Amino acid sequence: MHQYKGKLIIHTGSMFSGKTSSLEKDLNRFVIAGYNTMAFKPSVDTRYDTSEIKTHDNISLQAILVDSIDDIMEHYNREQPNVIGIDEVQFLKGKADAIVSNINQLLAEDVTVILAGLDMDFTGHAFEVVKELMPIADYLYKHHAVCVKCGTDAWVSHRKIKDKERVVIGASKEYEPLCRRCFLEEKIKEEDIVNKNQVSFDL
Ligand X SMILES: Nc1ncnc2c1ncn2[C@@H]1O[C@H](COP(=O)(O)OP(=O)(O)O)[C@@H](O)[C@H]1O
Binder of ligand X out of 99, 120, 130, 145 (CB under 6 A) = 145
Q: Which helix (H) or strand (E) holds 65?
A: strand 64-66
Residues 5-44 that bind ligand X (CB under 6 A): 15-21
Binder of Zn ion out of 75, 93, 144, 149 (CB under 5 A) = 149
**Residue 133 Cα distances to 22, 168, 194, angstroms:** 18, 23, 37
Is 20 annotated among the ligand-binding residues? yes
- Beta strands 8-13; 64-66: pairing state: unpaired
Is 15 annotated among the ligand-binding residues? yes
Helix, strand and coil percent figures for the chain, each rounded to 5: 35, 25, 40
Q: Give backbone dihedrals phi and psi of 173, rounded to 5 degrees, phi first.
A: -75, -30
**CA separation for the pair 195, 173 (Å, rounded):** 25
- Residue 121 found at the interface with ligand LXEULUCI (CB under 6 A): yes
Is 127 annotated among the ligand-binding residues? no
Q: Is 52 a catalytic residue?
A: no
Paired with 13 in beta bridges are 118, 143
Binder of ligand LXEULUCI out of 59, 169, 188, 193 (CB under 6 A) = 169
Q: Which residues bind ligand X (CB under 6 A)?
A: 15-21, 55-57, 145-146, 148, 177
Q: Which residues bind ligand LXEULUCI (CB under 6 A)?
A: 15-16, 19-20, 45, 47, 118, 121-122, 157, 166-170, 175
Q: Which residues are catalytic?
A: 88
Q: Which residues are annotated as a binding site for Zn(2+)?
A: 147, 150, 179, 182
